[in-house]
């Protein structure tokens, strides 16, 4: 019997699978190529997507610690624990650490698994519950948060696919 969780988890799994497929075969140079000086590159965008999943699920909805700090991902990826990607300057994006996409995807795998576990732990009534998003300084509805995650992550997937397309064309 389907539950409210099933379409949410299906959507999360679909965009994450498409993201991994979109990344296949890209070179380290292609991953950090910026179509314009004010643009994010693919590697930064994928890292940011993982951070978004981690923060929303583990900190905001569950009220716990982010995997980024708790499981040492900040240290593994050579970044400060307070780095999130929101509001970064073009210089910060350009100077993003040289890290492998495989390591970023290991972190993303962990955050994706935690997102799915968070959804499994929710009851239907939780969708109407508000939680405090400390980094935004406001209370937000969990139902809204889930919709926002799906929208934001899908937009970022489109950005990654677009940058890949610019570099490799339609058949790349």
> 92-114 pLDDT, tens per residue?
888 888 899 999 999 999 999 99
Q: What is the mean pLDDT of the chain?
A: 93
Q: Does residue 138 sit in helix, strand or coil? A: strand
Q: Which of 27-41, 86-100, 158-172 has the lowest mean pLDDT?
A: 86-100
What confidence score (pLDDT) does residue 139 get? Answer: 96
Q: Does residue 13 sit in helix, strand or coil? A: helix
What confidence score (pLDDT) does residue 172 get? Answer: 65
Q: State the Cα–Cα distance between residues 84 and 126, nearest whole angstrom.
A: 26
Split at pLDDT 50, 70, 90, the class of 121 is very high
Split at pLDDT 50, 70, 90, the class of 122 is very high
Q: State the Cα–Cα distance between residues 75 and 15, nearest whole angstrom.
A: 27
Distance of alpha carbon 81 from its chain centroid, rounded?
16
Task: Tell whether the model's pLDDT for residue 82 goes beyond 90.
Answer: no
What confidence score (pLDDT) does residue 91 get? Answer: 81
Class (C level, CATH) for 36-86+94-168: mainly alpha
Q: Note whether 133 and 23 are within 8 A (CB).
A: no
């Amino acid at each position: 019997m389907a539950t409210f969780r099933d379409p949410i988890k299906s959507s999360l799994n679909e965009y994450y699978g498409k993201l991994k497929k979109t990344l296949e075969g890209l070179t380290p140079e292609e991953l950090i190529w910026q179509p314009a000086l004010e643009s994010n590159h693919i590697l930064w965008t994928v890292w940011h997507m993982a951070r978004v999943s981690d923060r929303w699920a583990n900190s905001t909805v569950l009220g716990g610690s982010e995997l980024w700090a708790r499981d040492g991902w900040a240290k593994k990826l050579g970044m400060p624990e307070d780095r999130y990607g929101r509001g970064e300057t073009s210089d910060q994006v350009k100077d993003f650490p040289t890290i492998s996409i495989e390591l970023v995807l290991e972190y993303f795998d962990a955050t994706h698994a935690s997102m799915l576990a968070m959804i499994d732990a929710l009851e239907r009534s939780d969708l109407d519950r508000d939680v405090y998003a400390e980094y935004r300084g406001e209370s937000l509805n969990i139902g809204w948060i889930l919709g926002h995650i799906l929208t934001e992550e899908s937009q970022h997937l489109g950005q990654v696919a677009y940058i890949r397309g610019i570099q490799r064309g339609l058949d790349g």
